[in-house]
Structure 1
Amino acid sequence: MNLDLLLVLLGFICVIVGVFGSFLPVLPGLSSCWVGLLLLYLTKAVENNYWILGITFVLMVTITILDYVIPSKGTKKFGGSSYGVWGTNIGLIVGILVPIPFGIIIGPFVGALVGELLYDSQNHKRALKAATGSVLGFLASSFVNFFFSVIYLGIFLTILWQNRQLIF
């Protein structure tokens, strides 16, 4: 019984870390949520449901791949280069670490803008447009990750609630 409680606790921590990781790139996102679900299913109290684990795994892999594609597509759609994509990622990390309001949004924008200006310092309008596309791509990707992380949290809590008498 103690092992089940430990697995539930570790699974819950993984899911919570995953929800925060859906918009904070220094933490694992949806993959952490999936590991939390897996840990819940590893308890003796919860009967294995390979459909839920399989579907959530496929969704996690697909969304993780899209997480890398969406920001770069946003940058490229708005005329950006790989410098803008790298600038977005670096700006995001700086925006998280530097205590400024809305750093998680301002950082990627400034990073993409600086990256694009390093790529082509003469075309400010293109750099601004690419930086906007990069931030829009990042926000779209973060929203999708957050949305599915909250769904995984809901699945975790529902399964936990349904099996509460066997676990606790």
Structure 2
Amino acid sequence: MSNSIIVVIFSLLMLPGLFFAFIPMLPSLGYMISLVLVYSLFFNSQNFLSGRELLVLAIVALVAFLTDYLSGALGAYFSGASKKSIVAGVAGLAIGLILFPPLGGFFGLFLAVFASEFYLNRDRQRALKAATGSVIGTTIGVAINIAIGLSFVVLFTLFALS
């Protein structure tokens, strides 16, 4: 089987990773980088991907990982949430995602930040601002991860075919 066909197959296998990017905390780029590793280990006998290209793809995946896990926290932080509320928000996002996939993470994040801020400060407006900021941050992070995921697929395809 030619390398071009294998690259097209692996590029198509990466498409579910793009859908994973729509849901916070799902390993969208982790899935994609694992496909690159499988390709590199089993189908890269003629060195279609160099070490430098693998490093670039790994860095892109790391940026996506950091974006995924920090975007909601940064949104909450810039909206005035306390560190305790940010930690509660991350826990709420994970619990919401587990209990009510795929969008439960957003609700869990919002409720956890709101409840924590309200408990700590007894100020409904401040709690609402922090919770809204966390969801906005997470939504921006999802959009960034989708763009990063598309870039990843394009880079992999270009690297593997060049």
1:9-158 matches, cutoff 5 A: 15-16=14-15, 18-25=17-24, 27-42=26-41, 43=43, 44=45, 47-96=48-97, 97-98=99-100, 102-120=103-121, 122-156=122-156
Taking structure 2 as the reference length, the TM-score comes to 0.72
**Contact 1:88–1:135 under 8 Å retained in 2:** no
Percentage of matched positions with identical amino acids = 25
Structure 1 stretch 135-144 or stretch 19-28: which is displaced more? 19-28
Higher relative contact order (CA 8 A, sep 6+): 2
Counterpart residue identity of residue 135, structure 2: V
Q: 1:20 to 1:45 in 2, by over 3 A?
A: farther
Q: When the two structures are aligned, how many residues end up with a matched partner?
A: 156
Q: Distance in 1 between matches of 2:76 and 2:100?
A: 24
Give distance in 2, aligned partners of 1:149 and 1:80.
Answer: 29
Question: Residues 73-132 of structure 1, C-alpha deviation per residue, up to 9 Å, x if partnerless?
Answer: 2111111012322332233234433269x5343332222211212322x11111111111
CA RMSD of aligned residues (A): 3.4
Residue 134 (structure 1) shift: 0.8
2: distance between equivalents of 1:72 and 1:138? 8
Residues 59/26 of structure 1: CA separation in 2 closer, same or farther (3 Å cut)? closer
> CA separation of 1:141/1:55 partners in 2, compared to 1, >3 Å: closer, same or farther?
same
- 1:17 offset after TM fit, Å? 5.2
Q: Please give the TM-score of this superposition, normalised by the length of structure 1.
A: 0.70
What are the ranges of 5 or more consecutive residues in structure 2 without an aligned counterpart?
Answer: none
In 1, are the aligned partners of 2:67 and 2:144 still within 8 Å (CA)?
A: no
Partners in 2 of 1:94 and 1:41 — Cα distance? 35
Matches of 1:114 and 1:39 in 2, distance apart?
44
Matched letter for residue 81 of structure 1: S
Distance 1:131 1:90 in 2: 13
Provide the C-alpha distance between the structure 2 equivalents of 1:61 and 1:99, rounded to a whole number of angstroms: 24
